Chain A
Amino acid sequence: MLSDIALVSKVVLFRDRRAFEQLVRKYQSPVRRFLLNLTAGDEALTDDLAQDTFLKAWQNMGQFRGMSSLQTWLTRIAYNTFYDHRRRHREEAMPMDGSAPPALLAMEAASPSEATAADVRRALALLREAERTCITLQMIDGEPIDRIAEITGMPENTVKSHLRRGKEKMRTFLTNNGYD
């Protein structure tokens, strides 16, 4: 099994599709999970955005410097792709700040783990976008604050503020829904 750096080198130097496919297979789950949480469970939109993310990664792989992990680099592309999409479709007014979107409410869980994941997305849908992004990156993806600042381009203090407010809302949600 080749390391990420070896695979990235093959993609950059030889435009090696098989090497790139290995990277896609390895990172599709964390990238799609991150976007699924940002879109509050919209699977079709997540799939489109994740595909765009990997296409951008293919086109710009030469810009990956290895200063951070490949997953962080891909997450940053995914985050920018999501926000580009939001800016383009702002007029459609996706009901994501403060109320759950239709895709989430229509979701029917097929297993206990899916039910928990659905609960998590229902909870995340109550947050503002910046709070949701920070909470997702810290609580689900396990990223430290400096890495969240790197991915989102926000100052660290802003990230901390979003995390504090997001966690307060989450605690209230959990308490009100019998999770304590």
Chain B
Amino acid sequence: MTENSNKHKDGSDDLLLEQFFRAASAEQLADDGFSRRVMARLPERQTRLSRIWTAACVAAAVALFTATGGWQQAAEGIARLLTTVPTMAQLLQLMLCGAVLTTLAATELMRSESTGLNP
């Protein structure tokens, strides 16, 4: 009889514990910017590597350009361009190139903004 009443008491105690913890188990914590803070702390290893790679390529290109007399040729080309009057067809070609480059730059900017990966 005593054993039975103890079992009954244990059972009701377990029920009491379950009821007590039920509210805690249903608790959903609001994000409140937590995910954003985690994403902001993720290492940017790939971005850093790509920046180093880009800087190295630019430095190599400038060195090669200088070594092969590129600056002098560029100056001569600009001087020739200034002394000749461009035709309408050449102007249209230039405008077309500018429009294409602007579109490409705008597209890339919008893509990086939407992914949130803009460094």
Contacts and interface: CB of A to CB of B under 8 A. Distances in A.
A64 interface: no
Interface string A75-118: 00000000000000000000000000000000000000100110
A145 interface: no
Interface residues of A, number: 36
A47 B28 CA distance: 15
Given A179-B16, A180-B16, A51 B29 contact: no
Contact of A140 (B16, B24, B31): B24
B35 A120 contact: no
A55 interface: yes
Given A18-B115, A167-B17, A171-B16, A117 B27 contact: yes
By secondary structure, the A interface counts as helix
| Prevailing SS type, chain B contact patch | helix
Contact of B13 (A20, A55, A140, A171): A171
B46 A15 contact: yes
A139 B28 contact: no
A178 B14 CA distance: 16
Nearest to B13: A171
B62 to A, nearest CB: 31
20 contacts: A17-B115, A20-B42, A24-B39, A25-B31, A28-B31, A28-B35, A29-B28, A36-B29, A50-B34, A55-B38, A55-B41, A116-B24, A117-B27, A119-B20, A140-B21, A167-B14, A171-B16, A174-B20, A179-B16, A179-B20
The 7 A-B pairs at the shortest CB distance, nearest first, are namely: A139-B21, A116-B23, A120-B24, A29-B29, A24-B35, A140-B25, A54-B38
Given A51-B38, A120-B20, A171-B13, 4 more contacts: A15-B46, A29-B29, A113-B27, A171-B17
